[in-house]
Amino acid sequence: MRLAAAFLALLLTLLASAPARAGSLDRAGIERHFPAPLVVGERDDKLPVWPILKQEAGAYELFAYAFESIDFAAIPGFGGVAPNLLIALAPDGTFRDARVLTHHEPVFLEGLGSEPLFAFVEQYVGLSARRAIRVGRPNARAGGAPPQTTVDGISMATASTRVINETMLSAALAVARAKLGFGAGAVGLKVEPRPEAEALDVAELERRGWLLRFTLSQEAADRAFAGTGLEGADPGEEPFADLRIAYLNVPTIGRAVLGEAAYGRLMRELAGDHAVLVASAGRWSPIPDDFVLGSIPERLGVQQGGLALAARDMAWERRDLAPSLPPGPWTLLRIGEAAGFDPSAPWTLVLRLARQRGQILPETVTREVEVAYRLPPDLFVRQAPDTGPHWSDGWRARAPELGVIAAALALLVPVLARQRGLVARARPFGRFRLAYLAFTLGFIGWYAQAQLSVVTLAGLARAASGRGDLAFLLYDPPSLLLWGFVLATLLVWGRGTFCGWLCPFGALQELAARLAAPLRIRQITVPPRLDRHLRNLKYGVLAAILVTAALGLPATDSLAEVEPFKTAITLYFWRSLPFVLYGAGLIVLNLFVYKGFCRYLCPLGAALAVLGRLRLLDWIPRRPECGSPCQLCRVRCRYGAIDARGRVDYPECFQCMDCVTIVHDPGQCVPQVLARRRQAAHTRPATLAEVA
């Protein structure tokens, strides 16, 4: 512990030299990411958002809003520090650009490298922030997942990519609601027409306003151009415009307007999108003579909640509508499901009226007329948006892994608790332990990626100092499940349950140590005095990591690399050579000094050893003869966790259960063997010589 105190003192003297973290990008930094012909406008005076402008037809139009995610969604990653992304959001809510500015994700730093993370974030370009975007497994989109709602995950970085996904969406939606007029209820909202259809005719639909008739008189059209000198520039018969407007997805409306067969065909073609009918009987037509089917109508638009929605002509086959509808031009506007359109809420059809003045260089003047449309909410079934955090996706996606791990933990508890059961039978228990260690390494470690790490404790230190929180744990369900189990067993048995049974790297060492005998490698006995000093080293390493984390020093990430877990378990030794040599070197050291890393260097083991002192039980059975005269358990203990007096040093015990097996085995426990011999000597028949 004196070594730990020395580490603390050294780090406290270095506080003055701790570098400060960089702030947000300034104008020059933003311009480097959005060079000409794009133009960076003036930063918003209320939000840290930069408008990015693009010149179109001699004028500047808004191309995107650029911002840093850390200003809106500072969600800590596995390094305990929130990643910072540069996001450019288009006026329609589409991601124009997405880049990683900074991150501290351990799996990418000196592991996979940052390139896979950069490529992961680039997948968001072109996707809409209006849709719930999920992180699938690697190559999920190639396997059939919807490309509009799914991004491919990264092997060995599932939890980190979910943190990035939540950061991306949370920051984007915060800006969209503030700058683009997104309604809070529109994002992720699912609204479907009720399947029950009331049979109504067109006349009744029009009476109820479900088939809305809108008439614009010539006088009203002229008033729209008041002050432009074009008030009487388009005289004609009354009315100027006579429209029928209807939302066709509702069965009652669609079947009355189109007929049963045509309505069914329309619904199949829409596949979840929305269709709005606009039919005209007046002079003004929503469809000009040169209109191209399937394009976005210049004369019509759809708005909801102050946000313009993309509405495109459906290019549907032009067949006659219901006989009572006007025979004039009409269009079906298709609104994509991704637009977040809520047909049960009020929305507006925008009519764009255009008149020209001048003959040599004609100038077009445009005015808009809005037509409000609303259907009764009881025609729809509304499914509230998933406003919960996106970490819940990970729990659903990894439910099978959680079930397997939970079952394995449930199996382990009775095996360890019932000491006169399987533990007392040396050969069957040895096979069970070998199989369980293989499961820990293969499934918990390499497959489920649930290797616990001191990085989590560093995150706790940051949270305690107000520099972060532990929300990142929610993105790694298997690890969180293990943490809960480990903390519970610490109070009962101490450190050994995790270190001896559930640590994948510990399992790798123990399995590798079985090669020592066939390779004829003799174990090195560390002198007792040196052994005591080396055991304290891990506490110093732990102190260094926690202090630097609490102070926000960048050295935390480097110090945490004392753990080879990321190299050996997370990245399967697929890493740069120095890290591979370090991890492999510890495995080789283990052949000579059994679990030398665990005993002398592991900071996580040190933390568990400290917390394990709160255990409620001294649960390892001892006999009066243990230590004097019997020394068998001490000699057999490869961890050196039993002293010469036979007492168990629980902070150094790895719960291999060898000593428990010996105590309960009459064929191994020396006091029991001697007692049996004495009993046999007293009960055997006397010989003739003895009688004489």
CB 480 within 8 A of CB 427: no
d(CA 549, CA 90): 38
- Is the pLDDT score of 553 beyond 50? yes
Of 315 and 595, which is predicted with more confidence?
Answer: 595
Structure tokens at 80: 């305990």
Angle at 470 between CA 466 and CA 471, to 5 degrees: 120
Q: Is 449 left (phi over 0), alpha (psi -120 to 50) or beta?
A: left
Query: In this model, does residue 531 exceed pLDDT 50?
Result: yes
Q: Are strands 363-373 and 347-357 parallel, antiparallel or unpaired?
A: antiparallel
- So what's the pLDDT on residue 262? 87
pLDDT tops 60 at residue 420: yes
pLDDT of 414 reads 92
Instruction: Report the pLDDT value the prediction gives residue 530, as an integer from 0 to 100.
Output: 93
Instruction: Kindly report, residue by residue over 220-271, the tens digit of the pLDDT.
Output: 888 888 888 787 777 777 788 899 999 999 999 999 998 888 898 889 888 7
Question: Which range in 57-71, 213-227, 293-307, 502-516 is most confidently predicted, on average pLDDT?
Answer: 502-516
Q: For residue 1, what pLDDT is reported?
A: 43
Other CB atoms closer than 10 Å to residue 184's CB: what's the count? 11
The DSSP result for 563-603, as a single string, is S-HIIIIISTT-S-HHHHHHHHHHHHHHHHSTTHHHHHT-H
Going by their DSSP bridges, the two strands 134-136 and 150-152 should be labelled as parallel
Residue 93 has pLDDT above 80, yes or no: yes
In this predicted model, what pLDDT tens digit does every residue of 434-449 receive, in sequence order?
A: 999 999 999 999 888 8
E-state strands within 424-540: none
Q: Give all strands of the β-sheet with 311-313 in edge-to-edge order.
A: 211-216, 241-247, 274-280, 330-335, 311-313
**pLDDT tens-place string over residues 599-651:** 999 999 999 999 988 888 788 888 888 888 898 998 888 888 888 888 899 99
Higher-confidence position of 171 and 601: 601
The one-character DSSP state at 474 is G
CA 509 to centroid of chain Cα atoms = 31
* pLDDT tens readout for residues 217-231: 888 888 888 888 787
The yes-or-no verdict on residue 192 having pLDDT over 90 is no
User: Rounded mean pLDDT of 355-370?
Assistant: 80
pLDDT of residue 310: 67
pLDDT for residue 689 = 52
Asked whether residue 361 carries a pLDDT value surpassing 60, the answer given is yes
| pLDDT value at 7 more than 50 | no
Least confident of 87-101, 233-247, 483-497: 233-247
